[in-house]
Amino acid sequence: MIVVGSGVVGLTTAVVLAEDGARVRVWARESAQRTTSAVAGALWWPYRIEPKELARAWALRSLSVYEELAGRPEETGVRVVEGVLGETRLDEQAPWAAERLAGLRAATSAEYAGQGLWARLPLIDMPVHLGWLRERFLRAGGVFEERTVTDLAEAAAPVVVNCTGLGARELVPDPSVRPVRGQLVIVENPGIHEWVVSTDASAGTTTYVFPQPDRVVLGGTTDEDDWSLTPDPEVAASIVARCAALRPEVAGARVLDHRVGLRPVRDEVRLEREVLPDGRVLVHNYGHGGAGVTVAWGCARQAAGLAHPAAPA
């Protein structure tokens, strides 16, 4: 069995398959640390992903896994952290949120200047988490191969799982997959322990401050159909200014890095089984946009079920 793609969706799917007893190889043109997943802010929350009902189920299954992994944060990169979802009201949330997320409540004025929702959510340090996923996959007997795939037909295996993200646009081909560019600024952590997300609908911006133990991830942008991977200095300055309006401490923090990632957005996630004319099985698992981390384990479990020889076509 071959899994094509080494982002968080591909690696998580490969882990589930390998631990289920399959002999799995991951094919990827680059290491996980150079994928879009490595750039993700990585707060667990169902964000702009369709279809909503399925995404909710995938997200909740993933939440249970992340809560368990948060018991070993240094190893897994997963912590459960307090923070505020700005411009969000408790009465706007579906019942599942209040039922599943302990302590979910309206933010106080001291916690957020406007209307917000206080929550304790998984926040993932993606470089650490991706490294941990790869090691877990290898311990399960998996094999990782760095190779460029120009056609899915190159993967000569009875079952191929397509987790190529934005690459699916050319490989499937599926022109409905498109990039939404996200730019981040990474700064030293000046003592921030809580995350915050703020949305300005009039300006069309989402601003977020995600603290990791040694740094803070500042974002961001949502530039549709923008393929540029080059950080824009003016955009970076705007990100820092917006984040400093929320957390003044970051204004003088030393900048460590500038990062850009292209979210693989699709109107709906494609998670389905395709039987090819030669009898091989192709399972598609792509199009998660900015919610790949949020739904990774739920989608991986469903993809593994579809990869089983007895699964319905």
Give the pTM.
0.95
Q: Please report the pLDDT score of residue 309 as a whole number.
A: 66
pLDDT in tens, 172-218: 999 999 999 999 999 999 999 999 999 998 888 999 999 999 999 99
Q: Which of 144, 179, 161, 183 is nearest to 31 (CA)?
A: 144
Q: Which of 175, 236, 239 is nearest to 203 (CA)?
A: 239
* Token pair belonging to 101: 């997320």
Cα dihedral 206/211/215/217 (nearest 10) = -10
Rounded Cα distance, 122 and 27, in Å: 28
pLDDT in tens, 98-150: 889 988 999 999 999 999 999 999 999 999 999 999 999 999 999 999 999 99
* pLDDT range class, residue 231, cuts 50, 70, 90: very high
* pLDDT range class, residue 312, cuts 50, 70, 90: low
- 3-state DSSP assignment of residue 140: coil
CATH superfamily of 2-307: NAD(P)-binding Rossmann-like Domain (3.40.50.720)
User: For the chain, what are the domain ranges?
Assistant: 2-307
Rounded Cα distance, 12 and 142, in Å: 12
14: exposed, middle or buried (C-beta count within 10 Å: 0-12, 13-18, 19+)? buried
* pLDDT range class, residue 86, cuts 50, 70, 90: very high
Rounded Cα distance, 298 and 85, in Å: 23
* Token pair belonging to 191: 């003592």
Q: Please report the pLDDT score of residue 310 as a whole number.
A: 61
Rounded Cα distance, 301 and 290, in Å: 19
Tokens 């499937």 — which residue? 172
* pLDDT range class, residue 167, cuts 50, 70, 90: very high
Beta carbons of 123 and 44 less than 8 angstroms apart: yes
Q: Which of 311, 271, 192 is nearest to 12 (CA)?
A: 271
Beta carbons of 307 and 17 less than 8 angstroms apart: yes
Please name the amino acid found at residue 257: D
Rg (CA), the chain: 19
pLDDT in tens, 5-56: 999 999 999 999 999 999 999 999 877 666 788 788 899 998 889 999 999 9
